[in-house]
Amino acid sequence: MPFRAIEDPSKLRRVLEATLLIESNLELPEVLRHVVEEAQSLTGARYGALGVLDEEKQALSDFITVGLTEEQEGGIGPLPTGRGVLGLLIADPKPLRITEIGNHPDSYGFPPNHPPMTSFLGVPIKVRDEVYGNLYLADKVGWSEFTHDDEALVGALSLAAGIAIENARLHDRVRRSAVYEDRDRMARDLHDTVIQRLFALGLTLQGMAARSPTATADQLGGAVAEIDLVIAQVRSTIYELGMGDASRGIRDDVTGLTRELRPVVGCEIDVMFAGPLDSSINEQVREHLLATIREALTNVGKHAHAAHASVSVAADESCCRLTVTDDGVGITRAPAASGGLGLANLRRRAEKLHGTFAAEGVPGGGTQLTWTVPLGS
Ligand SMILES: Nc1ncnc2c1ncn2[C@@H]1O[C@H](COP(=O)(O)OP(=O)(O)OP(=O)(O)O)[C@@H](O)[C@H]1O
Ligand SMILES: [Mg+2]
């Protein structure tokens, strides 16, 4: 995706925050409204809108606007169906910047009572090849047209919107699915996984904001690749959960996971194994174990400021014990007070398997998580 350097890191932070909203408990329309409000405010546009495409991808099924008064909105009449300049973006989903909408050859003109609009920026909401809708902005206040920076920022926001829409549709599919018996568990896994992958994306964007403006383009590219991974992960969580991958052993899974999380954790991670893991750990425990390691290591990256972390998985016929240790700042406040969900989820995962969980400071500094579940009963 052709991103250019963004001059103002605070703008990237706001894009990051909008992206992180996807993992919140907000309903999809609220997330999308937030995205379009941010796009409007970051670009200094008088008007903003977000159109969601219907399943056939031919017309808009939903249209969220900002900047119009209620009276203006009421006066315009029915929602646009996606013809004219808006239709152009549907037919050919590429960013579009126009200085004067009315002069564009595809313009149909505005309906009666529509406020006049001049400059225009439209960006498709697209995740990989799937187009979900479009983000539109009109009238850059004090400027004759929208800039390259505007296009890049709105491009990043549209990715956030795309993930939010895809995520909501996947959740819907999970809810409707009759294939899986334990839908709550599925949804929780999906949520946990999405959260942590998005967090990795957040870190990428954050790092990008902190660096020199000229380096931004490549880093944004990396963030986009990360978003792709998020989607792949969500898909495989849904379609493969419960089926597992018998060809890979626990050691491969854990090593692969720590390698993947290395950039998020930001320090060296030792991995240790003991005992007959593959013969003792069944599919259900494996799944919870991997999710627990993911959360524990993400926490090290987020909170610990550690120089070193270690993951140890040990099993015998009767129990599996996971220990994740770091030499960082230690848990300084009661986890419950942090508003975070991660540790509570780990406890629930352990309890579901009739096991135990503890997160405690280590004498001399650092944190140790111990997650133990019985096996073989
Ligand atoms: N390895 C660690 N080192 C230092 N503090 C930690 C560590 N792990 C957790 N904490 C502290 O415990 C709190 C609770 O962690 P928890 O994972 O539940 O929430 P979170 O990471 O803040 O948010 P979430 O997991 O929902 O994204 C954190 O906010 C942090 O203050
Ligand atoms: Mg956490």
Nearest CA to ligand 1 atom 30: 303
Mean pLDDT of 312-328: 94
Structure tokens at 206: 């954050």
> Of 194 and 168, which is predicted with more confidence?
168
Mean pLDDT of 294-306: 94
Q: What is the pTM of this model?
A: 0.48
End-to-end CA distance of the chain: 51
Give 299 Cα–ligand 1 centroid separation in angstroms.
5
Residue in 201, 343, 360, 371 to alter for ligand 1 test, most ligand atoms within 8 A of Cβ: 343
- Domain 9-235 belongs to what topology? Beta-Lactamase (3.30.450)
Q: How many Å apart are CA 349 and CA 4, to the nearest integer? A: 43
Nearest CA among 164, 153, 165 for reference residue 40: 153
Sign of the dihedral through C-alpha 94, 97, 102, 105: negative
The answer to whether domain 9-235 and domain 261-374 are alike in fold is no
Phi (first) and psi of residue 98, to 5 degrees: -130, 140
Q: Which ligand is nearest to the CA of 340?
A: 1
Nearest CA to ligand 1 atom 17: 342
Beta bridge partners of residue 98, listed in sequence order? 120
Q: Is 329 in the pocket of ligand 1 (CB under 6 A)?
A: yes
Confidence band of 351 (pLDDT split at 50, 70, 90): very high
Q: Strand 356-361's sheet: what is its strand order?
A: 268-274, 308-315, 319-326, 367-374, 356-361
Phi (first) and psi of residue 330, to 5 degrees: 85, 160
Give 201 Cα–ligand 1 centroid separation in angstroms.
18
Q: How many Å apart are CA 296 and CA 293, to the nearest integer? A: 5
Q: Are 301 and 266 in contact (CB under 8 A)?
A: yes
Q: What is the pLDDT of residue 247?
A: 43
Q: Is 302 in the pocket of ligand 1 (CB under 6 A)?
A: yes
Q: Which ligand is nearest to the CA of 199?
A: 1
Q: Is 31 in the pocket of ligand 1 (CB under 6 A)?
A: no
Nearest atom in ligand 1 to 328's CA: 3
User: Mind spelling out the 3-state secondary structure of the chain?
Assistant: CCCCCCCCHHHHHHHHHHHHHHHCCCCHHHHHHHHHHHHHHHHCEEEEEEEEECCCCCCEEEEEEECCCHHHHHHHCCCCCCCHHHHHHHHCCCCEEECCHHHCCCCCCCCCCCCCCCCEEEEEEEECCEEEEEEEEEEECCCCCCCHHHHHHHHHHHHHHHHHHHHHHHHHHHHHCCCCCCHHHHHHHHHHHHHHHHHHHHHHHHHHHHCCHHHHHHHHHHHHHHHHHHHHHHHHHHHHCCCCCCCCCHHHHHHHHHHHHHHHHCCEEEEEEECCHHHHCCHHHHHHHHHHHHHHHHHHHHHHCCCEEEEEEEECCCEEEEEEEECCCCCCCCHHHHCCCHHHHHHHHHHHCCCEEEEEECCCCCEEEEEEEECCC
Q: How many Å apart are CA 373 and CA 75, to the nearest integer? A: 63
Q: Strand 120-127's sheet: what is its strand order?
A: 60-66, 45-53, 130-140, 120-127, 96-98
User: Would you say domain 261-374 falls under CATH 3.30.565.10?
Assistant: yes
Residue ranges of domains in the chain: 9-235, 261-374
Q: Is 368 in the pocket of ligand 1 (CB under 6 A)?
A: no
Q: Is 139 in the pocket of ligand 1 (CB under 6 A)?
A: no
Q: Is the pLDDT of residue 147 over 50?
A: yes
Q: Is 293 in the pocket of ligand 1 (CB under 6 A)?
A: no
Mean pLDDT of 31-55: 90
Q: What is the pLDDT of residue 67?
A: 92
Average pLDDT, the chain: 79
Which of 108-112, 245-249, 295-299 ranks highest by mean pLDDT? 295-299
Q: What is the pLDDT of residue 212?
A: 46
Instruction: Please state, for a pLDDT cut of 90, what percent of the chain lies above it.
Output: 30
Nearest CA to ligand 1 atom 9: 299
